[in-house]
Amino acid sequence: MNANSAAKQVEVNKKIWAKYSPFLYFLLFALFVVNIFWLNKYIILADALVIYVFYDYFRKKRVVEEIEISVDARGRVFANEEFYIKFKIKSPYYVKLTLTPPLIINKEPKFIELFPNKEEEVIYSSKLGTRGTKKLGAYSIKISGFGNLFALIRNEFIDSDIKVLPSMEEVNVFLERILEAIPVLKSNYKLSEDVSYIKDLRDYNNEPLNKIHWKNSAKYDKLIVKDYEYAGTANLYILLDLNLPGAIYSKNAWLYIRKKYEEDAIKATTGLIHYFSTKHEKINLLLSDKKGFRKIIEKDYVIYFDYLSDAEGTIENEKDTTDFVAELLTTVQPVDTVIIISMFLTKEEVKKIIELRGRCGRVIVLVMPYGYRDEKTKKFKSYYDVPIEIRELYKYAKVLRDENVIVEIWHENVSLNEGLINIQEEW
């Protein structure tokens, strides 16, 4: 399914009502009174005028009912991407009307002149800046009566919506180095390291001691490790946690910060998904939000955007984030890579992440307490009040680094790519 899918015709629910001018009420009341006490040619002429108004009312009511309108609406767009709604209008009679688009379009009404059985096409375009499923709502056509004494209005609710996919934070950093310890190209059948075959020797980089090639280390006077052939087609797991960890007590202090984190984390996730998909990595998305835990596996990466468009976290999550990490412990293989995107880490989560690191090839933790700075904006001075939990966060990050877990903590004045560059330089 493509995010730029074609427009689709949608159903509408029709309702017709009339709006009368206050002068029409005054005219009818005045004629009723004078017809009781007086009768002359001028009053008869006024009576004829009122009769014509009634005739015009019923004639135009029939016209309004018989006007044919079809609506084509584009169903899926990215945030701030232009979309359109196309109206095709045809009437069996000559008529002038005003078309008012749905409020979501935020455009002025258009005056349209229809000739018998000739279709007119009206196109409105607009943009939506926030992700999510947006109801199109109702549009209306209005036909004014004789002397603007009344107006017939036909409201139609469009039984469809527009799914606005989240904006994508483009990843401009060469991330293959992050995954280089996880060879994926050799075999489709092996499931772990093949210790009987050494494919290469390389410098030591925090590997287990049993991988050190002591003979060559002595020869070159530096630690050399054996690089075995790895098995299998590796999986890349991206764990996105939009909830505030249950272990945090000062939830109100994080209330508004969490919302910014949510939007930034989703943009970062879409950027990473797009990046790794273009590299033909097999991606599994694990999403934790107010709906609970969801494991999403799709061949078309754009479908991940569909899920992320409506994702919404909470500060009152029932399950702790440790349960989220624990979901993978029985699933990952030694060749797999796990990327965890979170707002915060607690002591319990650190323990689970270390345990997860022992089960898979590499764990990368991207922590964004305040989100991150948009790439297009300049650096700014921050006035955030730092919750007391943030001090503990740096302690936990050090513990994880000591266990060969890649950790990067974003400040609100650091862009996504700047943080990823730090990872490349440090690891």
Distance of CA 342 to the CA centre of its chain: 17
How far is 81 from 83, CA to CA, in rounded Å? 6
Question: Rounded to an integer, what distance in angstroms lies between the CA atom of residue 358 and that of residue 240?
Answer: 20
> pTM score, two decimals?
0.71
First to last CA, the chain: 37
pLDDT at 344: 83
In sequence order, the β-bridge partners of residue 151 are: 19, 144
For 318-333, b/e burial (b = at least 16 CB within 10 A) is eebbbbbbebbeeebb
E strands within 115-234? 120-126, 132-144, 150-165, 194-203, 224-229
Determine which of 87-91, 189-193, 264-268 has the lowest per-residue pLDDT on average.
Answer: 189-193
CATH code, domain with 130: 2.60.40.10
Angle among Cα 268, 408, 406 to the nearest 5 degrees reads 110
Strand order in the sheet with 282-289: 292-296, 282-289, 235-241, 337-342, 362-367, 406-409
Asked whether residue 64 falls in the same domain as residue 120, the answer is yes
Supply the pLDDT for residue 375: 83
Query: Which of 293, 246, 288 lies closest to 266 in space, CA to CA?
Result: 288
For residues 238 and 225, state if they share a domain.
no
Do both 77 and 212 map to the same domain?
A: no
pLDDT digits (tens, 9 = 90+) for 333-379: 888 889 999 988 888 888 889 999 888 888 999 999 888 988 888 87
Mark whether 30 and 126 lie in a shared domain.
Answer: yes
Question: CA-to-CA distance for 173 and 65, rounded, in angstroms?
Answer: 59
Same domain, 219 and 268: no
In a domain, 276, yes or no: yes
Question: E strand or H helix at 299, and its extent?
Answer: none
Per-residue tokens: 417: 């790519």
Count CA atoms within 13 Å of residue 361 on its CB side: 24
Same-domain check for residues 223 and 268 = no
Residue bearing the bigger pLDDT, 252 or 337: 337
Whether residue 255 sits in one domain with residue 217: no
The whole-angstrom separation of Cα 284 and Cα 282 is 7
- The number of folded domains in the chain is 3
Question: Residues 55-106: pLDDT tens digits?
Answer: 999 999 999 999 999 988 878 888 888 888 999 999 999 999 999 999 888 8
pLDDT tens by residue, 301-312: 888 999 999 999
**Average pLDDT of 376-390?**
66
- With a pLDDT cut of 70, the percent of the chain lying above it is 83
Structural domain contains residue 173: no
Tokens of 16: 């017709």
Residues 154 and 237 in one domain: no
The answer to whether 140 and 103 are in contact (CB under 8 A) is: no
How many Å is the maximal CA-CA distance in the chain?
126
Residue in 336, 374, 371, 372 with CA at minimum distance from that of residue 357: 336
User: Which residue(s) pair with 153 in the sheet?
Assistant: 17, 142
Distance of CA 139 to the CA centre of its chain: 25
Same domain, 101 and 155: yes
* Whether residue 405 is found in the same domain as residue 259: yes
Written as six digits, the tokens of 400 are 């994880």
* The pLDDT of residue 318: 62
Cβ atoms of residues 345 and 397 within 8 Å: yes
The answer to whether position 178 is within a domain reads no
Q: Does residue 257 fall inside a structural domain?
A: yes
125 is in which domain, residue-wise?
A: 7-163
Closest CA to 334 of 354, 355, 364, 360: 360
**Does 202 share its domain with 240?**
no
